[in-house]
A and B are shown apart, each in its own frame.
Chain A
Amino acid sequence: MSDLDKAIAQLRACRPIPEAQVRELCHKARELLIEEGNVVTVKAPVTICGDIHGQFHDLMELFRVGGDVPDTNYLFMGDFVDRGFYSLESFLLLLCLKVRYPDRMTLIRGNHESRQITTVYGFYDECLRKYGSANVWRYCCEVFDYLALGAIVLGATTQLEPSRQPVTAPSRSSTQEYLDPDVEIEVLDSGGSIIQRFPRANKRAARANSPSKDSSSPSSKTGPPGTSASGWTRGTTGSTSGAVLCVHGGLSPLIDTVDKIRLLDRKQEVPHEGAMCDLLWSDPDEIDGWGLSPRGAGFLFGADIVKQFNHKNDLSMIARAHQLVMEGFKEMFDSSIVTVWSAPNYCYRCGNVAAILELAEDGMGESAHSRSNGEVNRSNGGFKKENDRTLLAGPARRYRVFQAAPQDSRGMPAKKPSSFYFL
């Protein structure tokens, strides 16, 4: 068992690793991350996750529901730290997994991966408490500066296949029911049973008893999780799956193409304004164009902005995190953007469920644009030249919704008191 594997085992038990080991880990991670572009290219299949916020036990639950690393590829969209009690363990575990399985883990930066934010929202204090000095916090912040700003998922299928990883629950049979090739969205609970299915729009019209109809009736407002998250009133048409852009916050008025993101020097503290700030701070909203963000950083952006951006960049969808959604995920603007939130019962009291988004691999392996890292002709790699405004078909999306880890699995707190005191 290598040192790294030992560290992973120790962190999985929610026990922090020694400072020297953290330093080494951060050093290795830095070597790795410095080679990543500002926008990392990721091939489906991949499971996209939103904010974690130091809720270590819920992260464990996430791995249980979504499948363990390295069996499942993960993409975490930032905000690993702050607010929860185990920011340190959560972030270090993710970092260890990144170093151990670099191709299977993608970590991008959230607005909380910043020196200033972490001193206010808890991570700094946690490091100080757990190590007695701020060194570990410094090492981690150094790594934050190297994290990618976004990711592009390529090669996601438009057709859902049966859930491949049998989740621990015995009720698998439900996922193996009839398979409808036109299912666009499937919502599963943590046991792997189907809560809901939504066919693509063109087929949906033919069905009188479309499930999305049900979900919009007022009586089910407090119904099962995920139901009122349905923003997909119209769905998408067409058959070509475009790429999915993943960022923590959203778009920026200074960024009109994905390639512009590549022109940023990301190795810095998250600035208070500018493109890099916006990518990590902005939020979609029901407005036209751009608006001021009540957060004081980033912007609000409307459906028109998203659709224009997606069209221009041949994206079918933007996946982002950054905002609490009670149902764990929320699609907006005709499914052109989705918010994924992976911290159940946020702050241990919000009562929300969490979700992760699975994008399966396109069986053909053909639709993937070869826009991998190192491609020189970036702007033109695989781009179609077309002028019509039809949006690309969204990938088939499987959301797994899960709740906070049960109380008794949380283990004893790992915090140690100082062994002597003067005052």
Chain B
Amino acid sequence: MAQAVPDPPPSNKKRVKVYELRNSDWFDRGTGFCTAEFTYDEVSRSDIPRVSVQSEEHPERILLETRISKEDLFQKQQDTLIVWTEPTTNVDMALSFQEAEGCAAVWKFVSLIQQRFVTVNGGSDDALDDDMPLDHVYVHQVQLPAPSLGNLGEILDSVKHCNNTNSGRDGLAKFVHTEDYIKQLLPLVEMAEDMEDLGSLHKLCLIMKIFLLLNDNSIMEMVVRDDMILGSVGALEYDPDFPSHKANHRQWLSKEGRFKEVVRIEDDEIRRKIHTVYRLQYLKDVVLARILDDPTFSCLNGIIYFQQIEIVQHIQQNPAFLKELFGIFGPEETNQERRKEAVLFIQQCCAIAKSLQPPGRNALYNNFLAQGLLSVITFALRHSDVAVRVGATDILVSMIDHDPSLIRQTIFRQINEKQTPLTDSLIDLLLVEADLGVKAQIADAIKVLLDPGQQNSALDQSKVSGEFGSRNRGIDAKQDGFVRDFYDDSAKKLFKPLVDLKDREDMTFSVHQVSLFIYLIEILCFFVRQHTHHSKYFVLSEKLSHRIAQLLASPEKYLKLTALKFFRNLIGLQDEFYNQQMTQGKLFEPILNLLTETSNRDNLLNSACLEFFEFISGHNIKNVMIHLVENYREKMKEITYVDIFQNFITKYDDSAGFDASMEASFLETEGSETPKRSETGSRRWDNGIKDLDATEEEYFNTSDDEEDSITKSTRSSVNGASPLTKPLVDYPSDEETENIEIDAKTEAKDAKGAKSNGVGPQDLGIDHDLPAIGGPGAPERLSEKRRREEDEEDEIGKLSQSKRRNSSSSVGSNTSNTSNPLRRKGNFSKHGGVAGSKPNKIAITLSTAIKTGGDNGSEDRGS
């Protein structure tokens, strides 16, 4: 996006032939134009003096580029000849100039630099890193004439010329700033407008653009000053790139009433900052959007960021202001419009807070909550204006994103005080909300607020202070009670639309009903994974599986898909409880029907059905397979285009209903199971389930199919040679180190490859070719984000830094999102040897991977 800086005409440069000494013969490397100047170096982040030659025939080719790095490197031999020995390659080189004048000019620069090396500590390369003395000598003394309509062309040329070198740009920025030059230019805009002098207006625009793209904070801050802003954007309205077009920036910015003060901000300085931020954003988003380069982008973002910090700080440290703000929601206030605006004001505060450092954000939210933010949210969620509801969900979600326990604590307080908890308000709203965006956010919020594992992970990740930890344990118990109470009452209300499907024949619904069902099923999938036994009995007693199975007959295909996903979730848990529910309820039948219906098509539904049964087959879920074969043998026989069902039948027949093999494997594995089961148990404890009741306990003790199938599949993956003696989880540790080595090696190799042919498969090198990101003083977070955007290659690892939650529709991906790719690689390389030749082994590797995924379903919500 860097603005195309027009190259100066070649006549400016010095025509030259480049020679190289090969076998004591001077070899002509081509003719081109020579420049000697400082160029910015990405690696050392400093200006490096270089001599370079650009090919005459192919201007995109650089015939020569060499760094002036020693005091005696270059020698001038005749009027038109400069020779040297290339330090890196030890090749003798020569530049033969067409004209002595050109040679002299280049030599002047070279000798000046070389003198530097003599005077500054003996000519070591390090001298260059310390560019203070160089700056002192080389900063251009830029001088521009007092502007008038008559000399704009001349000024533009000088400005363009300065803009070509770094030192020129520095000098120009200094001059513009110290002379308040822009202020001198601005009157010309109106003058030229009066005279309808479009040419001058275009020149003014170009000059202004160059000034703004000098990437200088003080210039940026200057143009958005009250007395300068309109003139500055006025000049930018006449862009020669769009000669027939005039922008209306002045009209936009000068319009009264853009700035709304819900509560009067007394501090003039803060009000000025608020205007500054708005104008800078306008510059960034509108005026300069098309031409913005990275340094200017980060420069603008940096200024905006620091101003916003001060604004937010001012607000939250101003009790009088906060009191008045939240007072708007009190009984005295009669102006509904003002309430609406107050919600939008808070929404904007929270939006800004997202970019603050966590402690600042925390302070702001705490202050807001102390003032009664939650009741504001509750008020706003019921507002008739959708914009206010969007605002309320935005505020809520931004706080949940920051730290869900903030909201939870307030909810606990609400419950203690016998108020309606926020979650109930959210449920009410979800059931009636028409705006799909609000609905989606509410569904997300409900999930997070009811997530029992949530504060554990939040604790691990960010707040590892002991004090916080002990406080959290108390909350943990509260949260557990909260979840339990939820199932007594709120859950019934939430899932009522599903329960009400009972006895309904017609499965056609309105668009809103369909979307509501989809959200409900997605929430239920989440609960089933997270709340284990609480949800288990709820699903059973409310017969939710049966109701959702009804939806498989809906004419809306995506509703069918979501319903199918629910069952895939249940199967993925590999929990005999749910398996039994499904077999006893004959719930596989509608799924099998769906498969048969779609069998003549290769479409998404068909694939999803196949995947469902493929999972059962891959994980050898025997009871389900027995059930299927015993009840649907004929139906399955007809499905021949995949071998899944043939396999079911064969397996069944071979083992006479699995009985024999089941017994055998059960006995065989009993011994090695013991340590594993206790581990499973403790993992469940980690998930926050602390009060296993008797039935639950018994259930865990009697059902071994889960572990059994792990063992079986693992064993078959090692060809059944040795029984499993070691717990599964132990293995990645030593492989990990091994793989780190491989990783490093691969990377090194790739980097080399990329370098050698310039079109390396990874293009890893390209990062270094990009302009430096993050101007001086840019806040760390912003530049960090920006830098991430710059990376050529996408890396999944970067996502772990992303705070935003997975949105709703990814109902339990089929595989786990373990955040450690190395571990996965470990698993793979373990079996990788046979991967190429015997692909059927791979399927087994996959199945163990999925198995882990099912168990650690909670991780799905990570990153």
Contacts and interface: CB of A to CB of B under 8 A. Distances in A.
Nearest to B644: A263
24 contacts: A34-B561, A34-B603, A38-B602, A119-B802, A120-B789, A121-B794, A133-B394, A145-B809, A254-B843, A267-B561, A271-B815, A272-B796, A273-B824, A274-B815, A275-B846, A290-B828, A308-B836, A350-B792, A373-B602, A374-B600, A376-B600, A417-B252, A417-B282, A421-B260
Contacts of B604: 33-38, 146, 266-267
A124 B805 CA distance: 13
Interface stretch (B357-365, B754-762, B775-783): B754-762
B58 A35 contact: no
Given A222-B58, A254-B846, A415-B285, A263 B796 contact: no
Contacts of B344: 422
B863 interface: yes
A223 to B, nearest CB: 8
Contacts of B836: 289-290, 304-305, 308
Interface string B247-259: 1000010000111
Nearest to A79: B794
B10 interface: no
B345 A422 contact: yes
Contacts of B4: 407
A417 B281 contact: yes
A323 interface: yes
Nearest to A312: B839
Interface string A16-44: 00000001000000110111111100000
Nearest to B608: A265
Given A116-B799, A348-B2, 17 more contacts: A35-B601, A85-B289, A135-B436, A138-B436, A228-B758, A256-B839, A265-B565, A268-B810, A284-B761, A290-B828, A290-B836, A294-B747, A294-B764, A294-B795, A349-B2, A349-B770, A420-B259
A272 B771 CA distance: 31
A139 B406 CA distance: 30
Interface stretch (A87-95, A154-162, A324-332, A391-399): A324-332
Contacts of A124: 804
B641 to A, nearest CB: 5
B783 to A, nearest CB: 15
Contacts, number: 282
Interface string A61-81: 000000000000000000000
Contacts of B676: none
Question: For A117, A138, A417, which residue has the most chain B Cβ atoms within 10 angstroms?
Answer: A417
A323 B794 CA distance: 10
A56 to B, nearest CB: 12
Contacts of B475: none
Interface in B97-144: none
A347 interface: yes
A324 B761 CA distance: 8
B814 A268 contact: yes
A265 B739 contact: no
Contacts of A292: 739, 742-743, 746, 825
Contacts of B758: 221, 228, 326
B181 to A, nearest CB: 27
Interface string A276-310: 01000101111101111011110010001100100
Contacts of B600: 374, 376
Contacts of A373: 601-603
B275 to A, nearest CB: 9
Contacts of A265: 565, 568, 607-608, 611-612, 814
Contacts of B610: 262-263
Nearest to A229: B759
A399 B758 CA distance: 21
A421 B436 contact: no
A326 B759 contact: yes
Interface string B56-83: 0010110000000000000000000000
Interface in B265-284: 274, 277-278, 281-282
A70 B781 CA distance: 45
Interface string B604-647: 11111011101000000000000000000000000001100000
A375 interface: yes
A262 B641 CA distance: 11
B245 interface: yes
B770 A423 contact: no
B281 to A, nearest CB: 7
Nearest to B441: A134
**Binding site secondary structure of chain A:** loop
A253 to B, nearest CB: 5
B746 A300 contact: yes
Interface of A: 23, 30-31, 33-39, 83, 85, 111-112, 115-117, 119-122, 124, 129, 133-135, 138-139, 141-142, 145-146, 221-222, 228-229, 253-254, 256, 262-269, 271-275, 277, 281, 283-287, 289-292, 294-297, 300, 304-305, 308, 323-327, 330, 332, 346-350, 373-379, 407-408, 410, 412-413, 415-417, 419-423
A127 B66 CA distance: 46
Question: For A229, A274, A408, A416, which residue has the most chain B Cβ atoms within 10 angstroms?
Answer: A274
A412 B846 contact: no
B150 to A, nearest CB: 28
B510 to A, nearest CB: 13
Nearest to A408: B241
A294 B746 contact: yes
Given A115-B810, A268-B814, A294 B762 contact: yes
A33 B603 CA distance: 9
Given A256-B839, A349-B770, A421-B348, A286 B753 contact: yes
Nearest to B60: A222
A66 B88 CA distance: 46
A269 B796 CA distance: 13
A212 to B, nearest CB: 16
A421 to B, nearest CB: 5
Nearest to A37: B602
B46 interface: no
A92 B835 CA distance: 40
Contact of A23 (B281, B436, B565): B436
Contacts of B285: 129, 413, 415, 417
Question: For B440, B600, B793, which residue has the most chain A Cβ atoms within 10 angstroms?
Answer: B793
B542 to A, nearest CB: 26
Interface string B294-324: 0000000000000010010000000000000
B770 A421 contact: no
A285 B394 CA distance: 44
B39 interface: no
A416 B252 CA distance: 11
A263 B611 CA distance: 5
Nearest to A261: B607
B835 A253 contact: yes
B603 A271 contact: no
B605 A295 contact: no
A294 B825 CA distance: 12
Question: For A36, A116, A283, A325, which residue has the most chain B Cβ atoms within 10 angstroms?
Answer: A116
B811 interface: yes
B602 A375 contact: yes
Interface string B550-594: 000000011001000100100000000000000000000000000
Contact of B807 (A115, A272, A374): A115
Contacts of B282: 417
B251 to A, nearest CB: 12
Nearest to B859: A272
Contacts of B608: 265, 267
B750 interface: yes
B602 A262 contact: yes
Interface in B40-68: 58, 60-61
A349 B739 contact: no
A285 B761 CA distance: 6
Contacts of A122: 789
Nearest to A41: B602
